[in-house]
Amino acid sequence: MRIIVIGAGKVGYTLAEHLTAEEHDIVMIDKDDEVVERCSGSLDVICLKGNGANAKILLEAGVDKANIVIASTASDETNMLACLIAKRLGAQYTIARIRDPEFNESQTLLQNELGIDVAINPERATALEISRLLRYPFAGSIESFARGLVEMVEFRALESDPIVGIAMKDLALRIPGLPRILYAMVERNSNVIIPDGSFVIRPGDKVFVSGDMVMITEYFRFLGRNNLKIRSVMVLGGGRISYYLSRLIIPMGIHVTLFELDPQKARSLSEQLPRADVICGDGTDQDLLQEQGLSQVDAFVSLSNRDEENLMTGLYASRSGVPKIIAKSSRMAYMDILNDLGLDSVISPQVITSSTILRYVRARGNSNGTHVERLYRLIDGKAEAIEFIARKGDSYIGIPLMKLHNRKGSLVSVIVHQGKIIIPFGKDKIEEGDHVIIVSRDLGISDLNEVLYR
């Protein structure tokens, strides 16, 4: 497909990188000379310097022949205007990054009036991710599928876990009462493994399990991991993510203490979040944190604009005995080091945003195949979890999985048939309309027919 990406910041660059790897024709537009030069030198894309909301620049980029236009600049207004003009000039589909909470209130109206097909709010999406992590404090990451019916949870195996040291095929026999979930993927020493019956989990492995919410809860209760309930959270930074997060978790009965250095912003947040304790002060100050009861809270979430502050303050909170630490970072290349230091939950708004946009791109690019409903990039982009809806007439429909060829490095994780969760085995079948979740080490899969075939 021909795709125009407006704005070559962290999100735009990441998108262009992935989309070129999937062999799309990409044109990038940015106003900054240095950014355009960097993209030209490191990516196989056409780069244009200019304002993405300028009709002349869009026409030069070939907007009239564009399948998708993605507006991801730092300005909501520019993104909305660029989508409006692009649609009027002939673009088939538009995606806009819209971050301001005020625009979020009237998002549906804006989309209808401005011709925006998809509006994505990175901060709100990140806040939703964090709220899920607070629900499962022992988890490194949580992804949901099939409208919340299925969850995939990442956790680190401990030496004391009963599942350690036993082959997968022997778990049910050796551990009576172990809830039946699927072991979808394991990361060991930076390698991604799709486990088979002979695979043995070792201490320190990152394990991804999937199943319905009840079974996942029972599984972690069996392992003794769900003893911690989050009742109090300290949040570093008063940005948009902190605002959305507070709005999400305060109604859940979680007490929020929020630190913001800027007096004006702290005053505004105090008015917007009357049930939160908003502290005007430096949330990286260890004495202030201890004074406000750091060692007594259940979770610490560091969301400042500086990665270094987030990581160092998160490490300090961990050393102070806070059970759950979540830190925001745009430098996902350091994930392994951060995990070794005790920061298992490191989130990136850029990764969340780019994964969401990639899902829509894949769905548009495969309008004749199995529809992509959800897409998550896992393990620093080394693997993907993808949800499809099975389509009438596809070759795998109604055939037992044992009689189908399965793409190497890919696994059918869960089938949702008429609202019923199925952990698939060889005799199970996929029927029309089923939600099918696969995990794969291969990136760029856009059709279930690429994974299962006769």
Three-state secondary structure call for residue 216: helix
Q: What is the pLDDT of residue 23?
A: 84
Of residues 415, 410, 447, 411, the one with CA closest to residue 432 = 415
Taking CA atoms, 250 is separated from 78, 241, 284, 299, 354, in Å, by 33, 14, 23, 14, 28
Q: How far apart are CA 56 and CA 8, in angstroms?
A: 19
Amino acid at 13: Y
Q: What is the pLDDT of residue 208?
A: 95
Low-confidence stretches of the chain (pLDDT < 50) are none
> In sequence order, what are the residues at sequence separation of 6 or more whose Cβ sits closer than 8 angstroms to the Cβ of residue 223?
161, 162, 163
Backbone angles phi, psi at 211, to 5 degrees: 170, -175
CB 16 within 8 A of CB 41: no
CA-only gyration radius of the chain, Å? 23
Taking CA atoms, 88 is separated from 5, 57, 82, in Å, by 17, 14, 10
Look at phi and psi of residue 284 and say left if phi exceeds 0, alpha if psi is from -120 to 50, else beta: alpha
Q: What is the pLDDT of residue 140?
A: 83
Q: Which residues pair with 28 in a beta bridge?
A: 5, 47
Taking CA atoms, 31 is separated from 53, 55, 58, 261, 326, in Å, by 11, 14, 13, 32, 34
Residue 304, Cα to own-chain centre: how many angstroms? 19
CB atoms within 10 A of CB 414: 27
Element (H, E) at 268: helix 263-272
> In sequence order, what are the residues at sequence separation of 6 or more whose Cβ sits closer than 8 angstroms to the Cβ of residue 160?
none
Q: How far apart are CA 259 and CA 450, in angstroms?
A: 49
Q: Which residues pair with 4 in a beta bridge?
A: 27, 69
Structure tokens at 417: 């048939």
Q: What is the pLDDT of residue 145?
A: 84
CB 207 within 8 A of CB 141: no
Domains detected in the chain = 2-120 (3.40.50.720), 136-222 (3.30.70.1450), 232-347 (3.40.50.720), 362-453 (3.30.70.1450)
Amino acid at 376: Y
Of residues 314, 315, 295, 158, the one with CA closest to residue 225 = 158
DSSP string, 45-95: SEEEES-TT-HHHHHHTTGGG-SEEEE--S-HHHHHHHHHHHHHTT-S-EE
CB 435 within 8 A of CB 385: no
Three-state secondary structure call for residue 183: strand
Q: How far apart are CA 300 and CA 356, in angstroms?
A: 26
Q: Which residues pair with 150 in a beta bridge?
A: 145, 212
Three-state secondary structure call for residue 412: strand
Q: How far apart are CA 231 and CA 299, in angstroms?
A: 8
Amino acid at 106: S
CB 414 within 8 A of CB 423: yes
Q: What is the pLDDT of residue 151?
A: 87
